[in-house]
């Protein structure tokens, strides 16, 4: 049974989206709930998968010099079996399972091409991964990641 998000949940998510490390006491004051109620709601949002996790961003956009797309084909396994190997890298920002000639499309933001090479080489050693095609992003015509 899926519980619908109410206005309190929406407000908590909005605050956590802007700062995932916001103290519970400050969130509680902002949404007019007790700390205990906010803590319980955050735990429920985590356990039901609404909040899928938290991620540390290093140095902001200035430290990201190279962006790429990895097209990954798998060796007769399900995407769920291969994604833990891919998601271990903090540079991986998006990972999509897709229909067609390949299985996964992965968006990576790294310090430089050397780091992308390191990631690709490590992923190439995973027996579940058959092939990786790397596409370095040269321009962003929409101005969005």
Q: What is the pLDDT of residues 10-23, one digit of tens each?
A: 999 989 988 888 99
pTM for this model (two decimals): 0.57
Write down all domains in the chain, each with its CATH number in brackets: 7-47 (1.10.10), 60-136 (3.30.70.920)
Parallel/antiparallel/unpaired status of strands 92-97 and 104-110: antiparallel
The burial class, CB within 10 Å (0-12 / 13-18 / 19+), for 4 is exposed
- pLDDT tens digits, residue range 63-92? 568 999 999 999 988 999 999 999 999 999
């Amino acid at each position: 049974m899926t519980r619908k998000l109410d206005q309190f949940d929406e407000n908590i998510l909005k605050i956590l989206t802007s700062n995932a490390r916001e103290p519970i006491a400050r969130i509680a004051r902002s949404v007019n709930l007790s700390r205990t109620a906010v803590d319980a709601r955050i735990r429920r949002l985590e356990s039901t998968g609404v909040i899928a996790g938290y991620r540390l961003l290093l140095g902001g956009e200035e430290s990201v010099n190279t962006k790429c797309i990895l097209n990954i084909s798998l060796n007769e396994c399900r995407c769920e079996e291969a994604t833990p190997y891919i998601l271990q890298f903090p540079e991986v920002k998006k990972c999509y399972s897709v229909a067609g000639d390949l299985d996964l499309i992965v968006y990576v933001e790294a310090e430089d091409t050397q780091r992308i090479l390191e990631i690709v080489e490590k992923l190439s050693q995973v027996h579940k991964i058959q092939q990786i095609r790397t596409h370095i992003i040269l321009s962003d015509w929409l101005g969005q990641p």
